[in-house]
A and B are shown apart, each in its own frame.
Chain A
């Protein structure tokens, strides 16, 4: 077994019992006993024990020559030739990390006719841009993107590889990490470098944000992570920055794909891209019907935001699923989240509680949404929302 309590060292302090996120440690005769059937070997008890009384064996392998891996790479996700904003957020963070590692920051850009864009990435903080240009790479497809990336990573050996936790990113990087046989942490909200060992500290919410976990990939390279939108600050554009553009080619074998993109359909409503929105106005059961979402659209428009919804509104067919925020919908992290007529069940909260400012409008002062709200208005939303729209418009026009 990989984990055990060293009885001679255990003082019966019960700290591990309190720390175990899975409630699988009990005290028996004043010694800690781990229930091996429920233990997930997460190691929280090992870290908290002051007496080194819990031993966790991690005799895993490692990437050969791992010390040869250097530098930070950022996947420069593009759609229709436009770099996605999360890339600039990653570049901002990467510059900070690079300082601590004394390393270079590089972008890898796959696409077609994208040379000018490469220059933009340098202005935003990349020291190098590896660019692979091919018509087959114009739009994202899992297999060619995976094969081309894996090939480049094997050639250049970056120490860290970061990517936005977008639909594309989460799909692609999962494949890349398996091919490279290395560790990958999903949906990080914080990245840092360990002072002593220089590991990448990858922090992410777990259990819908109820707990946070910091994850390491000590023995494998590159250390890979996808990062949530909107939590890190975009790097500034500095047109005087200089960098190198390195053109790479891909062989036909790398570009082969068993999937084919037949069509791209953009939904007419421009207010649907919740991941990119700085402000989200969301409606729930309290909206009472599909026709009433127009008042949310008006408020969202006045604020330049997008419209979201709770599951209840989607299940009642008041609004399309693509707007749903929460456990079975999207996880969002806007600057401002305005929840209108949403009671705030845990499944909704896990999708929005990392928003920087949360505003709740609800008739019921006891609604759970008010427990996470920074500001709340208790009142009839059909009266409150139109007033907010009017007053925000006035305030913003000044």
Chain B
């Protein structure tokens, strides 16, 4: 069973702060982490490999420093790491990103399951996973919370919905996007960390991939950001302190009309 796990390096949102003067994000000094949802994808990929044999390859598109994220995935048990990095990819929207990653996956050759986190914590689009599946013309199941079974040519998974979940069978190869409930990511072992240190991350540029140049980066992106602004701050609220009987009456009176 060959597994490919697609990950993204994102700014650690716990550290993101707003500059009160300019109302913009302060990104300087903010640490980069693996997108939280991708941690579950890595863990699941490693578990599949451990159970069925084969290889777990971790793949990321991003700036050179994303190598750190890939090494972390190696320390968790992935076998190989590939970084797709080139200035030609800058400004990629989800269409161009899906295209580029799909081309990189094609180059890796044989795969049975592609795993992605359900969405990235910085962009929150949840579009790249399905985008890759579509470009590769393979089936997908999104929001997977459990893999029930994997056989040679098919898998059965549980897919989260608003009301509960669905049990879905898919043929292989396929792409799955996973949610947090699927597992608990392991802490890298010392041995894993040593391996990560020694591992050389494969680096591919645009010329290494069989890509059409006009489908990459900003040029290959139909969506353009036309404006970025800070949402108006919420006005200071009314906070009640004192005996619970009084504070609750105040609140209920304020909300009463709102509710009927």
Contact = CB atoms under 8 A, between A and B. Distances in A.
Contact of B252 (A336, A345, A365, A388): A388
Contacts of A220: 222
Nearest to B64: A37
A365 B163 contact: no
A58 B96 CA distance: 14
B90 A41 contact: yes
B38 to A, nearest CB: 11
B45 interface: no
Contacts of B244: 377, 379-380, 383-384, 387
B214 interface: yes
A247 interface: no
B24 A47 contact: no
A375 B251 contact: yes
Interface in A161-211: 166-168, 170-171, 174-175, 177-179, 181-187, 201, 205-211
Interface stretch (B71-79, B106-114, B117-125, B195-203): B117-125
A225 to B, nearest CB: 10
A206 B122 contact: yes
A374 B165 CA distance: 34
B247 A258 contact: no
A263 interface: yes
Interface stretch (B1-9, B48-56, B186-194, B231-239): B231-239
Interface string A243-267: 0000000000000011111111111
A259 B162 contact: no
Interface stretch (A17-25, A91-99, A106-114, A280-288): A17-25
B93 to A, nearest CB: 7
Nearest to B231: A212
A49 to B, nearest CB: 14
A143 B90 contact: no
Contacts of A328: 36-37, 180
A170 B127 contact: yes
A272 B226 CA distance: 37
Interface in A368-398: 370, 372-380, 383-384, 387-388, 391-392, 395-396
A322 B160 contact: yes
Contacts of B142: 142, 167, 170-171
A13 interface: no
Contacts of B168: 259-262
A36 interface: yes
B133 A378 contact: no
A151 interface: no
A275 interface: yes
A213 interface: yes
Interface in A5-50: 18-23, 36-44, 47
Contact of A18 (B16, B24, B226, B256): B24
A321 B178 CA distance: 13
Nearest to B40: A328
Contacts of B27: 21-23
Contacts of B245: 387
A303 interface: yes
Nearest to B135: A178
B166 A261 contact: yes
B37 to A, nearest CB: 7
A174 B134 contact: yes
A384 B229 CA distance: 38
A210 B233 CA distance: 10
A187 B120 CA distance: 13
A59 interface: yes
A19 to B, nearest CB: 7
B182 to A, nearest CB: 10
Interface in B1-58: 11, 13-14, 16, 18, 21-22, 24-28, 36-37
A375 B91 contact: no
A350 interface: yes
A41 B13 CA distance: 21
B179 interface: yes
A295 interface: no
A362 B27 CA distance: 31
A117 interface: no
A41 to B, nearest CB: 3
A378 B239 contact: yes
A21 B24 contact: yes
Nearest to B158: A265
A126 to B, nearest CB: 23
A381 B16 CA distance: 30
A119 interface: no
B212 to A, nearest CB: 10
Given A167-B142, A212-B230, 18 more contacts: A19-B22, A40-B90, A41-B91, A44-B227, A142-B141, A167-B162, A177-B95, A205-B124, A207-B122, A260-B168, A260-B169, A265-B164, A321-B179, A346-B13, A375-B237, A377-B239, A377-B247, A384-B247
18 contacts: A2-B217, A56-B218, A60-B222, A61-B214, A178-B95, A178-B135, A182-B222, A207-B11, A207-B25, A259-B168, A259-B174, A264-B164, A267-B165, A357-B258, A379-B244, A384-B247, A388-B252, A396-B260
Interface of B: 11, 13-14, 16, 18, 21-22, 24-28, 36-37, 63-64, 87, 90-91, 93-95, 98, 121-127, 129-131, 133-135, 138-143, 145, 156, 158-171, 174, 179-181, 214, 217-231, 234-235, 237-241, 244-245, 247-249, 251-256, 258-260
